[in-house]
A and B are shown apart, each in its own frame.
Chain A
Amino acid sequence: MQVNFSYLDRQFADVDVYLKDVRDLVLSGDFTLGPPLGEFERRFAQLMEAPHAIGVGTGTDAIAMSLRMLGVGPGDEVITTPNTFIATVGAIVLTGARPVFVDSEDGYVIDPTQIEGAITPQTKAIVPVHYTGNVADMPAILQIARRHDLAVVEDACQSIMGAIEGKLVGSWGATAAFSLHPLKNLNVWADGGVIVTHSAELAETLRLYRNHGLVNRDEVEMFGINCRLDTVQAVVGNRLIGQTRQITERRIANARRYDESFSDLGEFINIPKRRPGVRHVFHLYVIRVKRRDELLAYLRKNGIDAKIHYPIPVHLQKAAANLGYKAGDFPVAEEHARSAITLPGHQHLTDDEVDYVIQKVRGFYRG
C-alpha cells in the first residue's frame, strides 16, 4: 500500500468543477482584486467569526504585513518560538526587527511561562505559532501582552478552525495570519494567505498596504507593496472553503485513531498532552518516538510518506547565525527536532490507510 502525505491528487480527482470556474474567470479577464476575492474574503471572515479578512500573497506575508502595520520595525524585538517553520522568523526579520526565541512546551507551541524572561525594553510584539494545528495558550499570552503593552500576531498558518473553549484562532491577537499553501487544510492552487482582524482600522490599512498604498488609481496614501491573493486562487478557494469544517473533523478523527492506537506504546511513543478545551486541528500529526530515523526509513520502505517537521530547529539554521543562539539554548525544541515524526493525517485518507499506518508503526516496535 502507498500512503501519501500530499492529497492533492485526490482533492482534485474531479477537477472539472474547478476548471469550469477558472475558465470562466480566465475569459472574464478580471485577475486582480475582483469580485471572487471579495466573496472569498467575506466567506473566510464568516468562517473565522471575525469581521475582516484580507487576502494576501502568502501566509508569510500575512505575518510580515501585520507586524509592519502594527509599527514593528528596525530596533524592535519580536518574540516567537524556534519550534516552527522558518517562515515565521523570516517574516519578523523582513520587518527589520530582531527575532527572540522562547522554548516551546510539550505540544509544540510556545511555553507561556518563559515569555516574560525574554521581554526587554525593545520588545514590541509576540508571534505565537499555532504549530501543527495545536493552539498556543492564548489567554496566558494575552495577559502577558497586556501587562507589557505588546502587540500579538497569531501565526495561524497551520491551524485554521483551531480554538480554545470554542473561541477560534484569529480572534485572540490584533491580527492572525493564515496560509492557503497547497498543503494546508484549506488550500488553493498556489501560494496564498489571509489576514484576519477584528480592527476595522487595521483592516483598512492592510488593504491599502497590500495594493501599493493606492486609495484610488491615481493617489497613494502610503508606500505599500503588491501582495494580493490572486483572483484565480480566490475562485479555487470559494469552491473549497465550504468543506473546511468537514476537512477539520476528518483530520481530528484520524488523529484520535492514531492517539488511541498508540496509547499502549508509551515506552516508544510520546503523544503530546492533548490540552482539555483546545481544538487541535492536526495540520500535522506529530509524535515523538524512539529510534526515529529507523522508523522513518521503515515506514518509507513500506510506502508510507512520513516526514520530519523539522530536523533542524530554527535557531540552529545557518540563517540564524547572527542571532547568537547555540545548541542547548532551547532543550525542548531541540529534543523535538531529534525525535519528532509526522504521519500522514490528511482528510482524504481512507480508514484502511490509517489502519495500515497504525499496523506498520506498531509492527516496527512490537515486531
Chain B
Amino acid sequence: MDVAGQHAVLRTELHEALDRVLNHGHFILGEEVEDFERRFAELCQTPFAIGVNSGTDALILSLRALGIGPGDDVITAPNSFVASAGCIALVGARPVFVDVREDYNLDPALLERVITPRSKAVIPVHLTGRPADMDGILAVARRRNLRVIEDAAQAVAAEYKGRRVGSFGDFGCFSLHPLKTLNACGDGGVVVTHSPELCEKTRLLRNLGLRTRENALLWSSNSRLDTLQASILLVKLKYLEAWTEKRRANARFYQENLGNLPEVQVPADAQHERAVYHTFVIQADRRDQLKQFLADQGIGTAIHYALPIHLQEAASSLGYRRGDFPVAERQASRILSLPVHPDLRPDDLEAVVAAIRNFYRA
C-alpha cells in the first residue's frame, strides 16, 4: 500500500488538521478523539466507540472489560495475525483454536466441539476484510453462553446481511495501523459496543481507571488514541467509502480476470456480504515460485500469514501440532496476497493479471 502517495494527495488537509491540534495543545483525549469516536460509532452502526492505542489493545481491553482472565478459555482462528491470539494469552486466558473455512474465517460447525466449561468467549476474525459467518457463530455463542468479540482489525465498513461488522458482538475491535484501510500515522485502535456499561468500563480501562482526575475506580494502564492521530483519522474518514469501493472494484477486476485460471483460486463474494478487501488473497499452485516471479517483475505481494499461530514457537505450551487444523495449514502453503489498495491504476492491475497468466502459461 502506498501510504506516502495517499498522504501527498491529502497533504493540505492533513497539515491543517495537525496545525489545529498543535494550536490547542490537548494532546491527550482532546476533542478530536471524541469527534472521531462519534463518527466511527456511526460508521459501525453502534451507539459507542472508544479510541485506544492499537487494535491489539482493543482486543485486550475488551477481554478485560468482560472479566476474562486466568483459568478461562477463549476460542479463535489459527490463521490470523498473531495479535488475535496474543491478546488472549496476555490477559492470562488460554487461546483455543478452531479451523477455518475456504473463506479463511472461523468455521461455526467446528466451534461447538471445543467448548468446555472454561470457555468464556469466541473471537471471530473477519480476515482479509470478509465478514465471518456471524449467524452461525452467534447461534452457538447464544446457546453455549459465550461472549463474542469481533476482531474486525481488517474489516472496517464490511457488512454482513446489511449490518456493519463490529456491531454483532459484545465488542467490535478495529485497528487503525498505518497499513489498514482507515489508517493513522502510527499505532491506533478503536472498540465499538452497544452496551453503555461495557462502554463505560472500557473508557475507564483505557484511562488508568480514572473517572475524574482524582478518582480511580479500578486499576488499569493507559491506552488512548492520540489526539493527533484522531485529527488525521477525521480527515481520512471522509475518503473511506471511496477507498473501500476502489478496493472492491480492484478485487472484482482480479475475480473477473483470474477466475478462469485452473491453477489459481480467487475469493468469491457472497450475496449477503460486503467484503472490503483489506487483502486480496488468492490460493495458487507453486505459490513460492509465483511470488518470486512477480517480485522479479516489480510486483510486490505478501503472505498473510506464512506460519499459522498454533505452530508458532510462542504457542508451544498450548500443545497443538501440525495436522490439527488442516484447512488453515493447507491455505498457509498456498495463499498469496495481491496488491489491492486504492491507489492502484488500471494498468497496474492489468500488469498483475498478465504476469500471473504468463507464469502459468510458461
- The interface of chain A, by Cβ under 8 A from chain B, is 6, 8-9, 12, 15, 18-19, 22-23, 25-29, 31-32, 57-58, 60-61, 64, 73-74, 86-87, 89-94, 96, 181-182, 189-191, 212-214, 218-228, 230-233, 308, 310-312, 314, 317-320
List of B residues within 8 angstroms of A15 by Cβ:
19, 22-23
Q: Which residues of B contact A89 (CB under 8 A)?
A: 219
Which B residues lie within 8 Å of A8 (CB)? 25, 27
Chain B residues near A225 (CB-CB < 8 A): 56-57, 60, 86-87, 90
Query: CA A232 – CA B226 in complex, angstroms?
Result: 11
For A29, list chain B residues within 8 Å (CB): 2-4, 6-7, 178
**Given contacts A27-B4, A212-B82, A223-B314, is CB(A190)–CB(B216) below 8 Å?**
no
Q: Which 5 A-B pairs have the closest CB atoms?
A: A29-B3, A230-B186, A190-B226, A93-B219, A29-B4
Contact of B226 with A230 in the complex, beta carbons under 8 Å: yes
**B92 close to chain A: CB less than 8 A:** yes
Q: B53, B56, B70, B305: which has the most chain A beta carbons within 10 Å?
A: B53
Residues of B within 8 A of A226 (CB): 54-57, 83, 187
**With the chains together, A212 CA to B85 CA distance in Å?**
10
Nearest chain B CB to A311's CB is how many angstroms away?
Answer: 5
* Cβ-closest chain A residue relative to B88: A223
Confirm or deny: B222 has a beta carbon within 8 angstroms of a beta carbon on chain A. Answer: yes
Shortest Cβ gap from B154 to chain A (Å): 15
* Contact A86:B86 (CB < 8 A) given known A60-B221, A74-B92, A182-B28: no
Assess whether A218 is in contact with B306, with CB atoms less than 8 Å apart: yes
Q: How far is the CA of A181 from the CA of B224 in the complex (A)?
A: 12
Min CB distance B208 to A, Å, is: 5
Quick check: B56 and A319 within 8 Å, CB to CB? no
Neighbouring B residues of A227 by C-beta, 8 Å: 53-54, 57
Residues B313 and A221 in contact, CB atoms below 8 Å apart? yes
Q: Is B185 an interface position by the 8 A CB rule?
A: yes
- The answer to whether B186 touches A19, judged by C-beta atoms less than 8 angstroms apart, is no
Contact of A32 among B92, B177, B313, B314 (CB under 8 A): B177
Query: Which residues of chain B are near A9, meaning CB under 8 Å?
Result: 25
Chain B residues 279 to 323 lying within 8 A of chain A, measured CB to CB, are 303, 305-307, 309, 312-315
B10-18, B109-117, B130-138: which lies at the interface: B10-18
Q: Which residues of B are found within 8 Å of A190, using beta-carbon distances?
A: 27-28, 226-229
A191→B221 contact, CB < 8 A: no
Q: Could you say which residues of chain A place their CB within 8 Å of the CB of B185?
A: 25-26, 31, 230, 232
CB distance from A293 to the nearest CB of B (A): 13
Interface magnitude class on chain B: 35 or more
**Residues in B neighbouring A191, C-beta threshold 8 A:** 28, 53, 222, 224, 226
Cβ B219 vs Cβ A94 within 8 A = yes
Identify B209's interface contact among A86, A181, A222, A223, CB under 8 A. A86
Can you name 11 A-B residue pairings with CB atoms under 8 Å? A60-B208, A60-B221, A74-B92, A96-B92, A189-B27, A189-B228, A190-B27, A191-B53, A220-B307, A226-B187, A319-B219
Q: How far is the CA of A219 from the CA of B220 in the complex (A)?
A: 30
Q: How far is the CB of B66 from chain A (nearest CB, A)?
A: 16
B362 within 8 Å of A (CB atoms): no
Cβ–Cβ contact A32 & B187, under 8 A? yes
A61/B221 in contact, CB under 8 A? yes
Look across to chain B and name the residue whose beta carbon is closest to the beta carbon of A179.
B222
Q: How far is it, in angstroms, between the C-alpha of A300 and the C-alpha of B328 when the chains are bound?
A: 63
In the assembled complex, which residues on chain A have CB atoms less than 8 Å from the CB atom of B53? Answer: 57-58, 191, 227
The verdict on A228 contacting B187 (CB below 8 Å), with A60-B221, A212-B82, A222-B313 known, is yes
* A89 to B217 CA separation, bound complex (whole angstroms): 13
Do A219 and B55 contact each other (CB < 8 Å), given the known contacts A19-B19, A60-B221? no
Q: Of residues 63 to 91 in B, which have CB atoms within 8 Å of A's CB atoms?
A: 69-70, 81-83, 85-87, 89-90
Given contact pairs A219-B312, A223-B86, A57 touches B223 in the complex (Cβ within 8 A): yes
Cross-chain contact B215 with A224 (CB below 8 angstroms): no
B140 within 8 A of A: no
Given contacts A220-B315, A314-B216, 7 further A-B contacts (CB under 8 A): A15-B23, A27-B11, A90-B216, A90-B220, A224-B314, A226-B57, A318-B218
